Amino acid sequence: MRDVAIVGVGMSKFGEEWNRGFREIVIDAGKKALNDAKIKGEEIDGMFVGTMAAGSLIGQEHVGALIADFMGLTPIASTRVEAACASGGVAFRQGYMAIASGLHDCVVVGGAEKMTDVSTASVSDALGGAGDQEWELFMGATFPALYAFMAKRHMHEYGTTEEQMASVAVKNHYNAARNPCAQYQNEITIETVMKSKVVASPLKVFDCSPITDGAAAVVLMPLEKAKKYTEKPIKIIASAQASDVIALHSRRSLTELAATKIAAKKAFAQAKLTPKDIDVCEVHDCFTIAEIMAIEDLGFFKKGEGGKASAEGKTRLDGEIPINTSGGLKGCGHPVGATGIKQIVEIAWQLRGEANQRQVKDARIGMTHNVGGSGATCAIHILEKGF
């Protein structure tokens, strides 16, 4: 196994991209990553692209070939990866393994989704396929409802409050307001969240991530080769993935994601680190309760203490463990296939010291946590400054 490094990163502006199509936002992110890496197309010998629902949302399948075509990268091997909302994270893992194994020497990994060209109902139906379509979506249980079940149970078992969940949204909007790529660059208050419309009690509009268009991309190489292209290579020191039963009714617990706990255990073992060694982390906050459960399942706080820790500011930029410095899915946006790669881009910026107003001081080791559906897939990566 070879050591693998990130040599280039890029992402499009996240938001409602009415004037650009799927291929335009992908090319935007891809060009930025290639320019950042200072490489030419002929040096790339493989590509992996995470996208969840292009067929349902824009009527386009065969996305791997489409992107290779319009980025001028044919005839390289270009593969689409689908793992629901974890498509980006799993695509990154495929790229990492391709370099580590020696199969490829230069790989582009991208993630993209164009979600705003169809109705909200159509988006909900497409996303519902990330759960158990027959036993959940067909019965009317969309993802806000599924995460509302988790929130209610977490509140019942641990005394978590709606105000504590709201504090997650407030913190993430604060970070997003300092991220020029974010969909929502505005700060909010606890009152804003609490007075917003109920979507699925106790979750309100401001507890939920938005519908978003966006793309992100990274360039991977063997570490020894990376140093020829950049003075700031980011080393991948752990890559782990785990799965769980897809439907909530089969879960052992509604207050934890088993796939997160298992993938985290594998990642920490691979990196020979503990949660206390992580300086900054991007977690999958599709809903505010999801961030609270994530910071518990990853080991940053004991089970049941995530809500209190969030309300006390322990996850802010200057807190004990800065979480979602990009603004997370909640503030930066959630173009589902792109989210896992956006997380990697943000951590790379943090470790390079290039996050500007949201920079975490002396960040050396970062982590990403990307979840598919209500927790049936989880991909976790740990990154380290390679300079």
Catalytic residues: 85, 334
Residue 216 token pair? 């992100």
In the sheet with 107-113, reading across from the earlier edge strand, the strands are 77-81, 46-50, 107-113, 214-222, 4-11, 234-243, 377-385, 365-372, 280-282
Q: Which helix (H) or strand (E) holds 222?
A: strand 214-222
Q: What's the maximum distance between 2 C-alpha atoms anywhere in the chain?
A: 57
Residues 6+ positions from 84 with CB-CB distance below 8 Å: 52, 129, 130, 336, 372, 373, 376, 377
For strands 234-243 and 4-11, give the pairing: antiparallel
Q: Which of 19, 80, 21, 32 minimizes the C-alpha distance to 337?
A: 80
CA 138/CA 356 separation, integer angstroms: 45
Q: Is 245 exposed, middle or buried (CB count within 10 Å of its CB: 0-12, 13-18, 19+)?
A: middle
